[in-house]
Amino acid sequence: DTLGGAPLHRVVVTPGPSVQFGCVGIPRARPLFSPGLNWAASGPRILVNPQPDYALWLYEGARAVASVRRPLTPRAPTGEDVRELYPDGLVLGFGGARADCRVSQQELIDKQGLAPVMPFVDDVQLFSDGTMWVRRSLRLSKSPVLDVFGSDGAYAGTVRGMQLPVGRQPQGELLVPREDPESGGTVLLRMRVKR
C-alpha cells in the first residue's frame, strides 16, 4: 500500500477448519458461497460490491460518489447452486506432477459446507462511459442474468442469455465472450445492446 489510505471496503469471513477431500486437503476452508469482494476499475473510478448484499459502491479515488442497491429477498444456497457452480465437481489440476483431483459436488457440500446466505452479485464490470454491469447469475449459468445501470446509477434494464462483457469499444460496441462449440474454445463477439 503505497498510498497509506484506509481500505475502501472489507469483507471479513472467519475461515473454517482444514478439510481433507479424497485427493487433496484445503487448510482453513471457507464454506461455499462465502462472501467476497467483486470490483472493477475504469480510469479513476472503482466499482465495488461487498457480498452478499446487492450493493454497488462507485468511487473516484477514495471518495464514494454513488451507491446503488436493490431490495432483493435473501436466500440460502442449495445443492443446485453447487451443481451449477461445479457441473463436473471441483477439478484441481497439478500440472502433470500427478493426476488431476476431482471432488464430487456432494463431497464439497458435506465437507466444506454452505454459507448461510447466497450472494446476490457474482461479478461486476465498469466501463469508461460510466455504465455498470452486474452479473446476478453464477459464472457458468446456462441462462446468465445481467443488470445494467447507467452512469448516473439509474437502472437501465436486465439482459438475459449473454455473458458479462469484458470490454467496450469507443463506438459503444461491447466485447462479449461466448463458448464456441465448433472449436471447444471461446470466441469474442462485438455486440450492441439496445433498449
Q: Are 91 and 100 in contact (CB under 8 A)?
A: yes
Q: Are 51 and 62 in contact (CB under 8 A)?
A: no
User: CA 57 → CA 6, 69, 137, 193, distances in Å?
Assistant: 16, 9, 19, 24
pLDDT tens across the length of the chain (195 residues): 455 667 777 887 777 888 888 777 888 889 999 999 999 999 899 999 999 999 999 998 888 888 999 888 999 999 999 999 999 898 877 666 666 788 999 999 999 999 999 999 999 999 998 999 999 999 878 889 999 999 888 999 999 988 999 999 888 899 998 888 888 888 988 988 776
135, amino acid identity = R
| DSSP 8-state secondary structure symbol assigned to residue 97 | S
pTM for this entry: 0.84
Residue 43, C-beta contacts closer than 8 angstroms, at least 6 positions apart: 128
